[in-house]
């Protein structure tokens, strides 16, 4: 009985922190991703339609295919890579969502090195 009483406050705290995972809300739509390179803020805009993503960055547009692994994970592959680096697929994982944004983790497929970012829905 003492174990149950001891575990109750811990379980109550854990259950209160439940990150949203409404990933299906972000399978389609128009989005923006802001990031920093050498102290300069950059923004890329993209539109996702289930299995295709069209990205515009610094006036250039590129298209990638999307292979959904689960509701919150997908693999991005450029359709027309311009070099060897662009030929590599990128693994994307949505970690949590809110009404109009999501936090995600990304990296090259097969690599342990990951980065994080936040995407905002703009439509």
What is the percentage of the chain residues whose pLDDT exceeds 70? 84
Residue 12 lies in a domain: no
Nearest to 103 by CA among 12, 30, 26, 13: 26
Average pLDDT, the chain: 87
Question: Residue 7 pLDDT > 80, yes or no?
Answer: no
Question: Residue 19 pLDDT > 70, yes or no?
Answer: no
Residue 3 lies in a domain: no
Q: 21-36 in b/e burial notation, b at 16+ Cβ within 10 A?
A: eebebbeeeebebeee
Look at residue 85 in the predicted model and tell me its pLDDT: 87
State the CATH number of the domain containing residue 56: 2.40.128
Look at residue 5 in the predicted model and tell me its pLDDT: 45
Residue 6 lies in a domain: no
The stretch 61-67 carries a mean pLDDT of: 96
Question: Residue 68 pLDDT > 80, yes or no?
Answer: yes
Largest CA distance in the chain: 65
Torsion over CA of 21, 29, 89 and 95, rounded to 10 degrees? Answer: -20
Domain range for 100 is 19-121
pTM over 0.85: no
Residue 95 lies in a domain: yes
Total domains present in the chain: 1
Residue 57 lies in a domain: yes
């Amino acid at each position: 009985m003492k174990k149950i009483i001891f575990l109750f406050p811990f379980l109550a705290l854990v259950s209160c922190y439940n990150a949203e995972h409404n990933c299906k809300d972000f399978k389609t739509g128009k989005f923006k991703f802001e990031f920093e390179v050498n102290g300069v803020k950059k923004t890329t805009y993209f539109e996702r339609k289930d299995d295709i993503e069209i990205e515009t960055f610094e006036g250039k547009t590129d298209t990638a295919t999307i292979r959904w692994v689960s509701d919150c994970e997908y693999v991005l592959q450029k359709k027309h890579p311009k070099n060897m680096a662009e030929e590599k697929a990128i693994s994307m994982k949505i970690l949590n969502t809110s009404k109009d944004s999501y936090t995600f983790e990304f990296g090259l497929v097969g690599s342990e090195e990951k980065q994080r970012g936040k995407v905002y829905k703009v439509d």
